[in-house]
């Protein structure tokens, strides 16, 4: 069974979803891939995983660095799972690049090449926004690209974390 709960964040309403194991999704309403893969049948009810997600988000949006993770249970391929695990290793207030994550995964796979573009696809399909910090990934040139919740939210999340934004920019369309 899938359980859902709405969360009113300073950046907009989020839909939190969980199953019996853990948090399955956390999306800003209207974001790209919103509620992708969720079954039609769901119950609006708080569960221990949803309560922990709310506690985590409350601490985060209050400017704190949560020292715990709610139980996570996102659905995805082995490759996407590896990419999402790599996202969890990016320290609060810091950024990394798609290429750096690709290199990290290549090393874990014994040197098998991983493309930054493939990482971009996995990061873009991260179903657990904010908690699995895909907003901390930037382009190789420092561009603030690729956030399914919108570039404005990405900027605000990075600002909330006190990220050193020197060199980061929003690309312009030419």
Asked about 166 being catalytic, the answer comes back as no
Residue 119 CB burial class (10 angstroms; 0-12, 13-18, ≥19): buried
104 phi-psi bin (left φ>0, alpha ψ -120 to 50, beta other): alpha
Catalytic residue, chosen from 128, 134, 138, 148, is: 134
Secondary element (H or E) of residue 15? strand 12-18
Label the pairing between strands 42-44 and 2-9.
Answer: parallel
CB atoms within 10 A of CB 173: 3
Which residues carry out catalysis? 134
């Amino acid at each position: 069974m899938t359980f859902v709960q709405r969360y009113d964040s300073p950046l907009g309403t989020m839909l939190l979803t969980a199953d019996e194991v853990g948090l399955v999704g956390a999306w800003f309403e209207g974001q790209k891939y919103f509620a992708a893969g969720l079954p039609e049948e769901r119950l609006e009810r708080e569960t221990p995983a949803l309560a922990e997600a709310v506690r985590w988000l409350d601490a985060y949006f209050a400017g704190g660095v949560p020292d715990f993770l709610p139980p996570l249970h996102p659905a995805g391929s082995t490759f996407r799972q590896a990419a999402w695990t790599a996202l969890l290793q990016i320290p609060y207030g810091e950024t990394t690049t798609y290429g750096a994550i690709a290199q990290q995964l290549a090393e874990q796979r014994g040197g098998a090449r991983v493309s930054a573009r493939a990482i971009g696809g996995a990061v873009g399909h991260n179903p657990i926004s904010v908690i699995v910090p895909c907003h901390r990934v930037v382009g190789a040139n420092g561009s603030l690209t690729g956030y399914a919740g919108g570039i404005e939210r990405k900027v605000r999340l990075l600002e909330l974390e006190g990220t050193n934004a020197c060199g980061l920019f929003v690309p312009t369309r030419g």
